[in-house]
Amino acid sequence: MWNRDQLLSIDPTAADYVLGLFNRDHLEYHLLANPRKEPTLEEMTNFAVQALKKDPNGYFLFVEGGRIDMGHHATKARLALDETLEFAKAVKVAADLTDEEDTLIVVTADHAHTLSVNGYPVRGNNILGIGGMSWEDYLPYSTLSYSNGPGYKHPQEDGTRYDISGDDMSDANYEFPATVPLSSETHGGDDVAVFARGPWSHLYAGTFEQNFIPHVMAYASCVGNGRTVCDDNNN
């Protein structure tokens, strides 16, 4: 299948194999996509879970909201945050279609970005807009900005800081301010959260190395050459 209409017209429980090729490269950002051509991450997740859950031996499904990462690299926070909302919808549909008693769902990221939330914006302020005014140069700053990336704004001709008040920050492709000019924003060094529910999800507690994540998956699902819950139950 190659478009959204085809995806929605197929019974996911009736096909043994399905290949969806909805773009020659990455899917378009949700805010910029043709809704007739490209399905949402939620719709693809819904289809995949229903297609796979008929297997009596269970299944492993990997779902990635990859455009979140790309939006941040471009310092296009509006696109990145919208992709995060789309990812949340995919998580919800996966949770709605599965049973917490027998399905482990793990939600995490492989790294952070240099996105920052700045200042003291008033309650109800648009997070994608102006955050406040500097007390030093009396120019506005955005609530969201990046440590580096293509959103760097060159100083004005008189040497003062760039004034973002004239920018159209409602544009989906707006590049939010960055401190250091780079063609692509870098990853950050922050710890990332791991959220989980289902069998053995309690093992995802505290701080741990990233390579611990698949070991818990294997343990809970009794796969691989390492120690699993099936081994422990047989002892």
The Cα–Cα gap between 227 and 220 comes to 10
Total residues belonging to the chain? 235
What pLDDT, in 10s, does the model give residues 16-66?
Answer: 899 999 999 999 999 999 998 999 999 999 999 999 999 999 999 999 999
Residue 228 falls inside a structural domain: yes
Q: What is the pLDDT at residue 234?
A: 81
| Binding annotation | 64, 69, 73, 110-111, 187
Residue 227 falls inside a structural domain: yes
**What percent of the chain clears pLDDT 70, i.e. is strictly above it?**
100
What pLDDT, in 10s, does the model give residues 83-141?
Answer: 999 999 999 999 999 999 999 999 999 999 999 999 888 899 999 999 999 999 999 99
Residue 234 falls inside a structural domain: yes
Residue 145 falls inside a structural domain: no
Number of domains in the chain: 1
- Give the predicted TM-score (pTM) of the model: 0.94
The Cα–Cα gap between 40 and 208 comes to 32
Residue 112 falls inside a structural domain: no
**Beta-strand runs (E) in the chain:** 105-107, 112-113, 115-117, 130-133, 140-142, 144-149, 178-181, 187-188, 195-197
Residue 224 falls inside a structural domain: yes
Cβ of 53: how many Cβ atoms within 10 Å? 17
Residue 108 falls inside a structural domain: no
Q: Mean pLDDT in the chain?
A: 95
| Binding annotation for Mg(2+) | 64
Q: What is the pLDDT at residue 232?
A: 86
Q: Domain range for residue 217?
A: 200-235
| Binding annotation for Zn(2+) | 69, 73, 110-111, 187
Residue 216 falls inside a structural domain: yes
